[in-house]
A and B are shown apart, each in its own frame.
Chain A
Amino acid sequence: MAKVQLKDIAYGRSGDKGDISNIGLIATNSENYEIIKRTVTPEAVKAHFGDMIKGEVKVYPLDNLEALQIVCYEALGGGATHTLRIDVTGKAMCTALLRMYVEA
């Protein structure tokens, strides 16, 4: 099976609540939604981010919007006011996820 990079099949938008980073992953069409729903699992996301995500990852599907809500715990270095990261609110977490390759 061919590998595809998420940036070619989905859009992203991420934000923060405390130390929790949430990444919205929006498929660009129905076929791509089936791909991300199948492949973007909590395990895959956690493995992709390595030491950037210290806690667990949850993935919630929204079939009506053909999108996944990905919630990453202990993922922002302690939260916006505490973290040493320059991207204090994790706005680039979504583009970091878009680097991921999945089975098409």
Chain B
Amino acid sequence: MKKVRLGSGSAFWGDMLEPAVEVAKNGNVDYIGFDHLAELTMAQLQRMKDRDPQKGYIEDIIPWMEAILPISVPKGIKLITNAGGVNPRVAAEKVAEIAQRLGFKGLKIGVVEGDDLYPKIDQLVKDGWVFENLDNGDKDITKIQDDIVAANVYIGCEGIIDCLKDGADVVIAGRVSDTALYIGPIMYEFGWDFNDPNLDWNKMGAAVTVGHTIECAECCTRGFNRWKESKNLENIGYPIAEFYEDGTCYITKVEGTGGVVDEWSIKEQLMYEVHDPKNYIMPDGVADFTTIKLEDLGNDVVKLSNMTGKKRPDTLKVQIGYKDGFKAEGNVFLSWPDAWGKALQAAEVVRKRFEIVDLVADEVKIDFIGVNLLHGSVAPEPDPEISEVGLRVTARTRTMAEAAKVGREATHIWTVGGVGASYGAPFKPKRIISLWPTLVPRDAVEITHFIMEVE
């Protein structure tokens, strides 16, 4: 039976390079997918591009391609990446320069564009499309319309397939969905086509499920909960999926690498960032996770079968980033004896100081580091003999001037915090880019591609 071997090469901007090199060298893979984008990344990249039109892509792509192309090109491994960010064209030019320097004349770099909805937002609003906020149901986007800095659609794998059909060795996209990095090669290899009325949506569900399983790279092989049993993490192996034409798949990793592929590591990833498990909606299809048969075959191999799905949706998700005030933060640390008592007193002082200086804030939050920073109100009271407690003072404000007050007042605890109060340099206030997750009709999005050939 026909099969394709897909390796994962990155989970986020700043991930480890060496495990990706290992997948290229010893993974016996046909394709490697690289995900570098998180929900906020596109807005950050757009701001970089606004300052310099030659920026706005993930600059990690340079060292990564320098390290991986010399391995992937001779082996014929194709690389699919979303490192193009908001500027895939410029990213492709950079990769072409690297390939030329390495002597890969004739190498074909595919570029996928069309995910940038920013120029079309105003027109779509005028035409009557309601960009309802998926988080809270807010239907009135006009209140933030002037503050929008970026709007990117999570597009599917069509552009990736088109590049592969045109012979691309490397495909550089922007905001394609993470799963599309893997669904594209699967559909291309098996000749699956969205225009085919008989396209098997259960098999597409399998492709979506497998894309989801490996797109987060080491999250699939870490074994988070059995953290003690999972070893050699400094050399963690990124996951590899061997996907068969009948929709069955084996998940594994390169022998001898760290981490683990077992029932638990795969279940953790299957449950990760999913809402209704019967309807895991991706631009290329809807997966149903409640039918999957998972078999742990031992030796870092897990078999996934009986995966099912439904037709892809008529709308696509859009992430709109908009300027939304400022965030300020200041920290101070209180030591034994009576660290907890001193921390509570310090928090009280800060709150009263905010009143004295008339702080205008949308929200003020004071957390106690070492006590409830992570678990909030679920955390129990601390041990009275606790050795140290940190005070983390944060606030959201409308203006930079108000934000500056927060850091300034937090520093006053340095001197009025009680004996042993310790501190570092205060943080600079930061601009907040908030996100407005919403939908757009599929027909309003035009995905295009072209090939850049290395000279």
What residues make up the interface of A, taking CB atoms closer than 8 Å to B?
A: 11-13, 15-20, 22, 24-26, 48-52, 58, 60, 62-65, 67, 69, 71, 73-74, 77-82, 84-87, 92, 95-96, 99
Q: What is the CA–CA distance of A60 and B274 in the complex, to the nearest angstrom?
A: 10
Question: 7 closest A-B pairs (Cβ-Cβ)?
Answer: A24-B271, A11-B225, A15-B273, A92-B374, A84-B365, A18-B135, A84-B394
CB atoms of B292 and A64 under 8 A apart: yes
Q: Which residue of B lies closest to A19 (CB)?
A: B135
CB atoms of A60 and B278 under 8 A apart: yes
- Shortest distance from the beta carbon of A54 to any chain B beta carbon, whole Å: 10
Given known contacts A12-B225, A84-B327, A86-B373, is B290 in contact with A22 (CB within 8 Å)?
no
Q: How many residues of B contact A (CB 8 A)?
A: 50
- Please, could you name 9 A-B residue pairs with CB atoms under 8 Å apart, sorted by A? A11-B264, A20-B135, A26-B271, A51-B376, A52-B378, A60-B276, A65-B294, A73-B135, A85-B365
CB atoms of A62 and B289 under 8 A apart: yes
- Shortest distance from the beta carbon of B288 to any chain A beta carbon, whole Å: 10
* Interface stretch of the complex, out of B228-236, B417-425, B430-438: B430-438
CB atoms of B378 and A81 under 8 A apart: no
Given known contacts A64-B293, A65-B289, is B376 in contact with A80 (CB within 8 Å)?
no
Residue of A69, A81, A84 with highest tally of chain B CB at under 10 A: A84
List 5 other contacts, CB 8 Å, given A19-B135, A62-B290, A71-B275.
Answer: A17-B437, A22-B273, A26-B271, A52-B376, A96-B378
| B143 CB within 8 Å of chain A | no
CB atoms of B277 and A69 under 8 A apart: yes
Given known contacts A15-B273, A52-B377, A95-B374, is B294 in contact with A81 (CB within 8 Å)?
no
Q: What is the CA–CA distance of A61 and B271 in the complex, to the nearest angstrom?
A: 11
CB atoms of B135 and A13 under 8 A apart: no
CB atoms of A86 and B271 under 8 A apart: no
Question: Which residues of B from 374 to 413 have beta carbons under 8 Å from A?
Answer: 374-379, 392, 394-396
Residue of A12, A17, A74 with highest tally of chain B CB at under 10 A: A17
CB atoms of B225 and A62 under 8 A apart: no
CB atoms of A16 and B363 under 8 A apart: no
Q: Which residues of A contact B375 (CB under 8 A)?
A: 92, 95-96, 99
Q: What is the CA–CA distance of A15 and B289 in the complex, to the nearest angstrom?
A: 17
What sequence of 0s and 1s flags, for each residue 344-371 of chain B, a beta carbon within 8 Å of any chain A beta carbon?
0000000000000000000101010000
Q: Which residue of A lies closest to B327 (CB)?
A: A84
What residues make up the interface of B, taking CB atoms closer than 8 Å to A?
A: 39-40, 43, 134-136, 224-226, 264, 267-278, 289-294, 321, 324, 327, 363, 365, 367, 373-379, 392, 394-396, 432-435, 437
Q: Which residues of B contact A73 (CB under 8 A)?
A: 135
Given known contacts A11-B268, A60-B278, A65-B267, is B224 in contact with A81 (CB within 8 Å)?
no
Q: Which residues of B contact A79 (CB under 8 A)?
A: 135, 434-435
Q: Which residue of B lies closest to A100 (CB)?
A: B378
CB atoms of A80 and B40 under 8 A apart: yes
CB atoms of B267 and A84 under 8 A apart: no
Q: What is the CA–CA distance of A18 and B318 in the complex, to the nearest angstrom?
A: 12
- Shortest distance from the beta carbon of A33 to any chain B beta carbon, whole Å: 12
CB atoms of A82 and B267 under 8 A apart: no
Residue of B327, B367, B377 with highest tally of chain A CB at under 10 A: B377
CB atoms of A24 and B377 under 8 A apart: no
CB atoms of B377 and A81 under 8 A apart: no
Q: Which residues of B contact A92 (CB under 8 A)?
A: 374-375
CB atoms of A63 and B136 under 8 A apart: no
Q: Which residue of B lies closest to A24 (CB)?
A: B271
CB atoms of A24 and B272 under 8 A apart: yes
Q: Which residues of B contact A71 (CB under 8 A)?
A: 275-276
Q: Which residues of A contact B374 (CB under 8 A)?
A: 86-87, 92, 95-96
Q: Which residue of A lies closest to B365 (CB)?
A: A84
- Picked from B272, B291, B373, the residue with its CB within 8 Å of the CB of A13 is B272
CB atoms of A99 and B396 under 8 A apart: no
CB atoms of B268 and A49 under 8 A apart: no
- Shortest distance from the beta carbon of A68 to any chain B beta carbon, whole Å: 9
Q: Which residues of B contact A25 (CB under 8 A)?
A: 271
- Shortest distance from the beta carbon of B184 to any chain A beta carbon, whole Å: 23
Q: What is the CA–CA distance of A87 and B375 in the complex, to the nearest angstrom?
A: 9
Q: Which residue of B lies closest to A17 (CB)?
A: B273
CB atoms of A74 and B136 under 8 A apart: yes
Q: Which residues of B contact A58 (CB under 8 A)?
A: 276
